[in-house]
Each structure stands twice: as C-alpha cells, then as structure tokens.
Structure 1
Amino acid sequence: MRPDDGVPHNETDRGNFDKDVDYNPEQSSSDTDDSSSDHSTQAGVKRIEAVSKAWTKTSLIIAYVALLLIANVTSLEIQVTGVMARYATSAFVLHSLLSTIYVVQGVVSAVIKPPMGKIADVFGRLEAFSISIAAYTIGYCMQAGSGNVQTFAGAQIFWAAGFNGLQVLQQIFVADTTDLLNRALFSTLFDVPFLWTTWAGPEVANSILTTATWRWGYAIWAIILPVCFIPLAISLFMNQRRAKKLGFDVPSPFRGRSAFQVAKNIWFDLDTFGLLLFAAAVALILLPLTLAPNASGGWSNGSMIAMLVVGGVLLLAFPLWETSKKLAPKAFFPPNLFKERTIIAGVLIAFLYFMAFYMSVFPYFSSYLQIVQHKSQVTADYITRTFTFSSTVSSIVVSLIIKYTAHYKYYVTFGAAIYLMGMGLMLAYRTEDASVGTLVGTQIAVGIGGGFLNVPVQLGVQASASHQQVAAATTVWLTLLEVGGAVGSAVSGAIWSTYIPAKLQLYLPAENLADYATIYGDLTVSSDYILYPPGSPARIAINRAYQETMRYLLIGALCCAAPILPLTFFLKNYKLDEMDQKVVGNVIGKAERKERASGQHQRWKFWKR
C-alpha cells in the first residue's frame, strides 16, 4: 500500500471512507498487501498520516522532548523496581518465585504489544498512549499495596501492559516520524537515559530501602509518571486539532454506527479471539515450568499436566485461527509478514537473544552475586547494570554508523559474535573467586553484543514492511522478543527451583538441613554472611549449591545464543537510503521520494538534521 493511501483530502474521500466502515469478515484481508485499496488503511494509521502532515518542527521537538522525559522516568523506575522485586518476594518468603514474576511479565509483555499496536492503528496514537499510562499507574498502585505474592504477581499484568504498551508506542511514533536512515538513531534516543539511571538506580533503591520500605519503591512512580505524560498528551492533542484545521482530519470509523457494529469492528480489528488464544497458550505452557517444582506433588500434580496439555492444544490452534481470512481477516500476526526472510530471521534472533539474556543476566544473576560472591545489593546491581550501560552505548554507536553508511546487516553479524563470546565468558568465569573486574568485563561483552543486535535487527524488520504494516511488524518483532524472555525466565525458574533445594539438602550439614527451605526462599538469609560466615560448612554448602545451579543456567544461555550468528546471514542487506521510506508527511531526515497522487509525482518534505 502506498503511504498516502486512505488519507482523505476532500469530501469525496471522506464519504468513501465512511461507506466502508462496516466490517465484512469474508472480505479478503487485502490490507496486508502493498496494492490494497484506500479504505484498507486503518483509522489510526490514517490519523497519524494526517497528523504527520500537520507536524511543525517545533511541535515535533516538543513531542520528542516529552517522550524523552517519560523515558527518563521509566528507565529509572526499572532500575529501582528491579531491586525491589527481590526484596518483595523475599518478604513473602518466596524468593524462588522471582522467575514466576518475570514469566508473568513476559507473557503479558508478549501479548500486550499486538493489541496495543492495533489500538494505535484503529483508534490513534494519543488514545493508545493514554491507555498505557493508565495501566502503568494501576500496576504501581497494586504492587505497592500487595499483601501477598499472588496480588504482587497479578499487579505485573497491569505494570507489564503499561510498560510494554509505552515501549511499542514509542517505536511506532519513531517509525511514523523518521525516515529509515534516521530511525535507528531516534529509536535509540529512549535508551539514552540508561546511561545515568543505570548507576543512579541502585543508589536510589538502597536509599528507599534504608529510609522507607520496598513498597515506596513502587508507589512514587504512580505520582511521577502521569505528571510527566501531560506534555506529550497536550502535544499530540494540539497537533490533531491542527491537522483538522488544515483539512487533514480523519473522521471516526464508528460514526453513525450501532453499538453492535462498533463491537464487531473492534472484535475483528483487534483480532480479539486470536489474542486470547495466544495469551492463554503462552501462559499455560510457561507458568507450570516455574510453579511445578514448588507445587504439591511437583510434576505429578494434575493441574500442572492439565495446564501444559491445554496450552499445547491452544498453541496448535493459534496458527489455524490466524491464517483463516474468515475468522481473522485482520490477524495481529499477519501471515504474509512471515513470507519475508528478513522478518523470519529477525524474530528468531530476537527470541533467542532475549531467551539467552533471561537465562544468564536476569533474573537470578544479581542474587547469585549477593549469595556466592558476597557482594552488597548496590555492587551486585552495578555489575548487572553494566550490561544496560554498555548495550546503550553500543546501540547509540551502531545507530550513528547506520545513519552514515546506510547499511545494517554487517553490524548484526558482529553483534551476534560478540554476544556469543560474552555468554561464553560468563560461563568460563563463573567461579567463586572471580574478581569484580572480570565480572564487569563479561557484562560489557554481552552488552556490546546486545546493543549491536537489538536496534539493527528491528530496523531490518521494519524496512521489510509497508507503512500500514510497520506497526504490525514492530509489534510482531517485540512480541516474539518478549516471548523469548518469558521462555528464558520459565526455563531459568525451573532450573533454579529444581536444583537449588535439592543441592541444599544434599550439601548442607545435618545441623542446618532443616533450614534449607528458608535459605532457598529468602535472599536476605542465603546472602547473610554473619549467620553463615565464610569457611563454615553451611556457607560452603550454600555457595556450592548456587554456583552449580548457575552453571546450568549459563550452559543453557550459551546454547540459546549459538544459533543467532548463523541466522544473521539470512537477513537481506538493504541499502537504506535507496529504499521506500514508508512514512508520510513531515518527517525527520534528509531523503526524498516520488509518490503517486492523482496521477502526479510529489516530493516529500523532510527536515535536515
């Protein structure tokens, strides 16, 4: 589809748009093809195309400054709450369920991105941003007020919905307002705050834990984030009004429709049943991996087997649903996207990248450092946050290189090699006497590899999609990246909760054997070097159990990272400055393209940065 398709420039276009609103599920989903007709572009896409034509340089700067303000808040929040989660689960004497928390986050993160992308396409960007901020705030409030681990885990649904909705909307906004040469650089803007929050986060968290409780580590963000959203909301709202005054407004696709017609349109546009299938399948398969070792009867527990069986059936049913033009004419995983080898390779790289990450760096590496390496909470978090810092720096570097070379594939291959090497170093230096410098060095290597992987792969996937499908391609990529993280969390949780209790019972001396459950369930106990001093039989047993288990996790992570390198060879080597930029209106960048409009060729307007 051409980028200007469906943007009404006169009353005739508006009339045609309204006539085609009532959704026919039997209609071919031609909107996934570049040659689709005008009405195939969804309302939110038409609206952002219209709004893009109304952007001024000043209004676009204000929008990006507002987004950067939000990015600073959320990046600091991640650093602080990442510490709080360990102490929250330990407060409930269930530190081992930390991986379950991350599985819940991963599942919600995976399934929320497609509908959030769809909401942005169907209703508009401002509406989708508002929903994300509201969910984010509810999650903070629930986490702060949780009285048990079940409520705390349930809060992850809202938190993850808000966080990941905001993440995908930031990337969609960048895709709407930049050309391909500048997109990687501007996508990386939202990672820049990690350069300072990485180091500030552990100190802020320690200050909160010292002066208040872990609950305040969540509560403060319920106040700060909504306030910081106000400038962005005003900017988007005012620009929509300006677009309307300039004649670029897109009417509501639901105008003059009955409640039933509106509900039917939303059902098909959001692919509601497909979303539920996917969410249920992923959750039912992954959650038993972390719950079974702690459940009564373990894997012989009938509910665990039932969850796996039902989840497997739903997972098999999901592609059947998504490929049916009658049942899912607007599938949130458009089948034709997976005809592009770059998209296939890109989503596999994302899946394996995050799976390896969640079996190595998160969620248990910080705990390992506190328990086995006898590092303080702040030092342990500084070591693991080195990954965040180095990946942010390397992503900025690779974005600048892409901007001036117009290539991306070579850097993905380089990043894959470094990432694999970093995982190998983590395994090699997983020893009790490893120095801080060695531990930091492994995180730098993994971070550099991750930075060179993440941004270029996403750019390649976006370059393979039409403008109507940029949001879909972005959400598919981010969704499978999060599924990889959820799988990694589930596997690491299964390994952690299976081997550590067994090894503690095997290695602990007789006088401490009765304490194994408390040691396993509470980080503050297992890392207490006064209660279990260095050189004591109990400390030797504890460190041995955690060290051997960490070795299993890192072997798994290395196996996951290994296929990434050969997958990079399947990416197409796009020359980005020679491609259709797939954006409409006033966008950031220096590029020009001819497009057909009423039989004439028009030039795009670009701002030189």
Structure 2
Amino acid sequence: MASHDDNNGSSSVEEAAPLISRQEQQHLEDRPSLDGYGAIVSHEHDAESADCPTPSSPPSPDIQDGVLRIEAVSRTWSKTALIIAYMSIFLMAFTTSLEGQVTYSLAAFAVSSFNNHSLLSTVFVVQGVVNAVIKPPMAKIADVFGRLEAFTLSIFLMVLGYIQMAGSQNVETYASAQIFYSAGSTGLQILQQVFIADTSSFLNRALFSSLPDSPFLITVWIGPLIAAFILANSTWRWGYAVWAVILPVAFLPLAMSLFLNGRKAERLGLLKKRQHPNGSVAPWQASQKLFYELDVVGTLLFSAGLALILIPLTLVSRSPDGWHDRGILAMIATGVVLLVLFPFWESNPRLAPHPLLPLELLKSRSFCAGCGLGFFYFMVFYIAVQPYFYSYLLVALNLPVSRAGPITQTFSFASTIAALLASLAIRRSAAPRPRPFIIAGALIYSVAIAVLLQTRKRTASVASLFAAQTGLGAGAGLMHVATQLAVQASCGEKHSHVGIATAAFLTLVEVGAAVGSAVSGAVWGRLIPGKLLAYLPEDAKEHAADIYASVVVACSYAWGSPEREAIARAYQETITVLLHIALLSCVPLVVLAFFVKDYRLDDTTSSSSNTNSSNNVDNNTEAVAVVLEEEGMLVALSTARTWWAPWTWKALGLSGVGAAAAATTTHRQDRPPPPPVITTTRSRARSSGSLEGSSSSSSSYVYSDDDLY
C-alpha cells in the first residue's frame, strides 16, 4: 500500500506504478487531487470513501465487460476530454438530425415512385418495430463489448441502410432497408443517451440529455429546403446516398475520443482483462455466454411478435378478402402467441439469465408509469402527425414541399426548445424535480392535439398549423426529458440498470410509434379508397387506385378542379378521424403523469459500484455543463430566430458568450473554485472505519489534458 508524508510530500509505493514523464509531472500543480477512481479528493469525506474498492479489485462476475470498461474509462475523463467528447456527440447528432429532416421529406416521394403511397405506414411500422426491439440489444451489446464497438456497429448499419434505400427498385427493398437503417439510427440514439448517463450526474443529465436534440434548432428549417433542392435538381435517391459518406466522417471524432481514452485507462492500470478461473474459454462457451447475455431468444420473441401483429394492420386494405384473409389472421395469431410467450421466457432465470428487462424494474411504479408515458405520447404523435399529415398538407392544403416540411418539423424545433428550457430549469432549480415538468408536458400535449383537431379544416391558416405543432412539440419536449430522468432515477443505486432502463423507456417510445403507425395505416387504408370512389367525378373514378397509390398523382390535378376537391375532401375527413383517435389516446397519457414519483434529483445516486468514478465525472461534467450553458444553450435559445444567418455558429454563441453568458455569471458566484491539483493514485491506505488524517492519497501517476492525445 501507499503512505504519504504531508510535511515533505514524499511517498512510498509498494505496488509498482507506471513511469511518468517530466512533461506529465509539470501539470501536477494545475489539477485537483484525484483518488484511485479519478474522483476529486476531499479529505473531509475520506471516511465515506474508505470502503470503496480499489481499481485493482477483481471485477464482479455479474458485471459485464463493457460496463467495466466504460467505468474504467470514466475515471480518466478530464474536462478537455469531456468537452471534445460532447462536441463530437453534437457533431454526430447534427449530422443525423439533418439527414432525418431531409429524408423525411423524401419518403413520400420514394414510396410514391413505386406506386405504393399507402404503404408509407408500413414503412413506418417497420421502422417502429426495429427501433423498438433494437434498443435493449444495442444497450446489451454496449455492455458486453463496449461503447465504441456498439457505436461503430450502429454507423455500419446506417450506412448499409442508406446504400440499400438509394438503390432500391421496389417498395419491398425500400422497406427492408429500413431494418438496417432503423437499427443503426436507433442504436445511435440509445448509445448517445447511455454515454450521457455514463458521464454525467442526475443534476446535469437533464441538460446533457437534450444535447443530441439541439441541432433541430437549425436542421428543422434547412432540411426541407435541401430536400426540395434535391427533388428539383436530381432524384430522391441522392438524398439517401450522400449520407453513406457524410455520417462515417462525422463519427470519427467521437470514435477517436473513446478509443484514446480507453488506451489511457489501460495505461493507468484501471482497465484489466478478466481472467477465466479455468484458463482460456472455449469458443463454444464464449458463444453460449454471448447468446444468453444478448438474450437472443427473448429479442426474437418480442420483435417477431410485435411485427406479426402490427404489419398486417397496414396490409389488410390491400387484401381482396380484407380481414377474412387467412394469411393476415395467421400472422396476427402467431404474433399474439409469441408475445404471450415472451414474459414467460424472460421471467425464467435459467432460460433468460440476462433478460432484456430486469424484473425488479417492473416493481417500480415510476418506471412503469414513465414507460407508459413514452408509449402513449409517441403513439398519439404517430396517429395525429405521422405518417400522413405531411401528405395531407401537400394534397388537401396545396402547400409546396418547402412549406409543408417546416410545418410538420416544427414539432422537432419546439420540442428541442422545450427540452432545453426544462433541462436548464431542472439543473438550476434549488430542488430539481422532474414530475412537475411531466404533468405540465402531458397537459400541454393534450391541449395541442385538441387545437390541431380544430385546424383540420381546409380553410385553416398556415399560422394556426404552426401554432398547433408548436404546442405539440412544447408538451413533448417537457414530457420526454423529464420522464427519461424519472425512469433513470427509478434505478436507484444500481448503475448496471441505468442503460437497460433507458433502453426500455426508449423502446416503449418506439413501440408507441409502431402502434400509432399501424393504426394510421389501418384507418387510412380503410377510409381513403372508399371516399375517393364516393367523391370523385364519374369520369375520374377509374383513376382512384392511382390517386390512392401516389401522392404525386394526387397533386397533379389542378387546384380547384372537381377531382382535386374530391381528393382533398377524402384526405380531410380521414385526418379528422385520426385526430379524434389521437385525442382519446391522450386520456391515459395525463393519468400516467400523476403516477410518476416526485424524485429529487440532487439526492439521487446513479451508481453504487462506481461512486468515486461518478464524483470525477460530476466535477468534470459540471465544468462542461457550464461551458454548454454559457457558450451554447442559453445563447442558442435567445438567438434561435437568427438561424438563417450565414454566421449561424456565431449567432448560436459557440464562439463567445456575449451578454447572455455575462448575465448568467451572477448566478454562479457562490460556486466554489475547483481544487488546484489533480493526481491519480493506484492504491490507497484503507481501514474498516476511516482513513487516518490526510495521509490517504499518494501520487503514482500524473496526467494532463494533453495526455488524451
């Protein structure tokens, strides 16, 4: 063990320590003192940390390798390294956000080019099912293999999806490409949130969890313009192909940050390979272990069951026999059986030793209510807005792509603003609690659906449509960020459950999207064909099938003509039915909001196994949070109206804090300055009670911000 003489600063280390260079030593006086977990040492709390395990402690066999690796890496994060990592997260989020805004505006034209516009809901169902089932496995892949490996797999799947969509020659190929694309994009979504949970405290997590959504402040407006430019000058295929090149380039900074910090953890001796008690493990044993850790059977039961129930709902209108089609009935029956088997499989510890969802989480009222909120709020959105409201604006209101796109994407813009405001309010509150934001968000969301129902008339102004979408987005933003925090807080001190709880919440969100898309598809397919035949002039009835199959054909009829009036009426009446269903679905949404426990986040601990590591991250992310708050978030909110300026980055405050940052300084005058020195120690003197005096820390390795490079 190590001993330290406070008078002369000498130390003796019984355990061999890594050699350090003079360049590394000269940074000693620039850093606060860290213990073996990288936590800032406060000698008055040494008694509390005396019982914490040393970095050299053998890892628990119940903790997966990926979790051990990220906990080791978390102990090495410096402020500079975290800033680089979060800037990389923002860059990747900006890229995927812009891609999403562009390709969303192209989807209706892509499906219409195959004369299957009605199958747009099927595409969204496939997306929703994949999005739902991929989150828990991706979280487990991150836990088993590591965060970097999971990020890389997600990028690969997205690129594969881009290539397949760009080259698709029929709707079946286009829909199957959604499997790869949705798996990759959803993997990125959950991994970004897991990374944020790994590197932030509950108090700062509200702010950081909104970071991946912040690019919507800009991309929501320029995405439809880019899509319109692509459609005018090329084909929709190029709108997918370009991202196969752009996304991997945007991922490189984050990949390098995770890789280099992992190497740093190895150099510090914080990351050690786990040894099997009987020596090397046979390949079949490793495969068997991976099979159970990823819960392959449980994942297949859940995904297949969900798909076999929801996809037939969107296909029934295309079957000549309708609901009497034996194939459709067989798929639904099989899906029901698989979903019934799923909980029995997951609850058996022998069959599923690592279930997708730990059963103890289901005992938490807040966890169940939070997941229910995620399900219903996204189901309502995919009934009321996705996937046909955009087509309604094009056909029934005669809006161009450049105007219809921003209306539907206003939801993303407003939800981002609301999420950022909620995050800042939670972080700066004296008693940060998510429940008030959840209740307020649910009420605003429900009122916005009612307002949207009033704007269904063809005489509705563009301003009223923007207002309804803004209210819808504001309610969703408040509700989503606060509910996710409550779900994570429901894990208590079990750090290993935070990732899977986050994945479960986001999974239920996507299940809601899939169910909402299926409902939309079923209603659309049931009503539109009959209404077109009822309202179209006699000489145009023979074209009803073509009009139903393509939004381009529907828009080709002159505005004000009898044919266009009939088409617009059919669209309007169908949208009205969908909005009524959405409004009724808001009732359980509001009820569930009151079942979430009123957690106080500054009293919640995110980890018991990694408390000291969390302290290090908390102190560093506190500094990063201040940087984000001063340099970007507050200024972005106050200058969002200047998004169109060519100097957007400067307008967003990323190059200087300006007056807004100066105004926030007065609120942080009571914050104590950070300690002046950082060191890491590989061993600590420990006793069963408390440490003796201040002789608990020894310096065996010194590192600086530059050590990352």
What TM-score results when the alignment is normalised by the length of structure 1? 0.91
Residue in structure 2 matching 1:205, options 207, 213, 227: 227
**Deviation of 1:581 (Å):** 3.3
- Any residues of structure 2 matched to 1:246-325 within 5 Å, and which? 246-251=268-273, 256-325=280-349
- Residue 56 of structure 1 aligns with which residue? 78
Contact 1:3 1:468 in 2 (8 A): no
**Deviation of 1:452 (Å):** 0.6
CA distance in 2, matches of 1:400, 1:567: 24
Contact 2:50 2:689 in 1 (8 A): no
Residue 570 to residue 256, structure 1, CA distance change in 2 (3 Å): same
User: Are 2:591 and 1:561 equivalent residues in the alignment?
Assistant: no
Of 135-144 and 560-569, deviating more is 560-569
CA distance in 2, matches of 1:309, 1:141: 35
Contact 2:124 2:514 in 1 (8 A): yes
Residue 48 to residue 597, structure 1, CA distance change in 2 (3 Å): farther
CA distance in 2, matches of 1:264, 1:81: 40
- Residue 523 of structure 1 aligns with which residue? 551
**Deviation of 1:336 (Å):** 1.0
CA distance in 2, matches of 1:253, 1:382: 55
CA distance in 2, matches of 1:320, 1:556: 32
- Any residues of structure 2 matched to 1:526-605 within 5 Å, and which? 526-528=554-556, 531-534=557-560, 536-582=561-607, 584=611, 585=613, 586-588=616-618, 589=621, 599=688
- Residue 28 of structure 1 aligns with which residue? none
Q: Deviations over 1:312-351 (max 9, x none)?
A: 0001000111111111111011111110000000000000
**Deviation of 1:260 (Å):** 0.8
User: Are 2:399 and 1:375 equivalent residues in the alignment?
Assistant: yes
CA distance in 2, matches of 1:86, 1:600: 67
User: Are 2:507 and 1:479 equivalent residues in the alignment?
Assistant: yes
CA distance in 1, matches of 2:485, 2:155: 26
- Any residues of structure 2 matched to 1:12-27 within 5 Å, and which? 13-14=57-58, 17=59
Partner SS for 2:383:
coil
Partner SS for 1:199:
helix
**Deviation of 1:298 (Å):** 2.0
- Any residues of structure 2 matched to 1:14-53 within 5 Å, and which? 14=58, 17=59, 38-53=60-75
CA distance in 2, matches of 1:253, 1:190: 37
- Residue 20 of structure 1 aligns with which residue? none
Contact 2:50 2:688 in 1 (8 A): no
Residue 391 to residue 3, structure 1, CA distance change in 2 (3 Å): farther
Q: Deviations over 1:243-295 (max 9, x none)?
A: 01111103157782111111111011111100000000000000000011112
Q: Which amino acid aligns with 1:503?
A: K
Q: Percent identity?
A: 47
Higher relative contact order (CA 8 A, sep 6+): 2
**Deviation of 1:69 (Å):** 0.6
CA distance in 2, matches of 1:59, 1:357: 38
Contact 1:3 1:467 in 2 (8 A): no
Residue 598 to residue 195, structure 1, CA distance change in 2 (3 Å): farther
Q: Which amino acid aligns with 1:498?
A: R
- Residue 228 of structure 1 aligns with which residue? 250
Residue 209 to residue 83, structure 1, CA distance change in 2 (3 Å): same
Contact 1:352 1:484 in 2 (8 A): yes
**Deviation of 1:404 (Å):** 1.6
Q: Deviations over 1:121-144 (max 9, x none)?
A: 111101100100000110000000
Residue 49 to residue 3, structure 1, CA distance change in 2 (3 Å): farther
Q: Deviations over 1:532-566 (max 9, x none)?
A: 430x3222211111111001110111111221112
Contact 1:46 1:250 in 2 (8 A): no
- Residue 178 of structure 1 aligns with which residue? 200
CA distance in 1, matches of 2:53, 2:275: 13
- Residue 499 of structure 1 aligns with which residue? 527
- Any residues of structure 2 matched to 1:404-443 within 5 Å, and which? 404-405=428-429, 406-443=432-469
**Deviation of 1:526 (Å):** 1.0
Count of residues in Structure 1 that have an aligned counterpart in Structure 2: 573
Residue 7 to residue 133, structure 1, CA distance change in 2 (3 Å): farther
- Residue 351 of structure 1 aligns with which residue? 375
- Residue 31 of structure 1 aligns with which residue? none
Of 178-187 and 554-563, deviating more is 554-563
CA distance in 2, matches of 1:306, 1:252: 47
Q: Which amino acid aligns with 1:551?
A: T
Partner SS for 2:480:
helix
CA distance in 2, matches of 1:152, 1:7: 52
- Residue 682 of structure 2 aligns with which residue? none
User: Are 2:480 and 1:454 equivalent residues in the alignment?
Assistant: yes
Of 338-347 and 52-61, deviating more is 52-61
- Any residues of structure 2 matched to 1:75-224 within 5 Å, and which? 75-224=97-246
Q: Which amino acid aligns with 1:510?
A: E
Partner SS for 2:85:
helix
**Deviation of 1:4 (Å):** 12
Q: Deviations over 1:82-102 (max 9, x none)?
A: 011111000001011111000
CA distance in 2, matches of 1:283, 1:500: 24
Contact 1:350 1:481 in 2 (8 A): yes
Residue 516 to residue 54, structure 1, CA distance change in 2 (3 Å): same
Contact 1:142 1:152 in 2 (8 A): yes
CA distance in 2, matches of 1:549, 1:256: 63
Partner SS for 1:40:
coil
**Deviation of 1:439 (Å):** 0.7
Residue 118 to residue 6, structure 1, CA distance change in 2 (3 Å): farther
Of 342-351 and 60-69, deviating more is 60-69
Contact 1:6 1:40 in 2 (8 A): no
Q: Which amino acid aligns with 1:561?
A: C
Contact 1:8 1:248 in 2 (8 A): no
Partner SS for 1:292:
helix
Partner SS for 2:353:
coil
**Deviation of 1:598 (Å):** 7.0
CA distance in 1, matches of 2:135, 2:204: 23
**Deviation of 1:507 (Å):** 1.3
**Deviation of 1:55 (Å):** 1.1
- Residue 9 of structure 1 aligns with which residue? 55
Q: Deviations over 1:455-494 (max 9, x none)?
A: 0000000011120100110011010110000000001011
**Unaligned 5+ residue runs, structure 1?**
18-37, 605-609
Residue 537 to residue 44, structure 1, CA distance change in 2 (3 Å): same
Partner SS for 1:49:
helix
Contact 2:398 2:559 in 1 (8 A): no
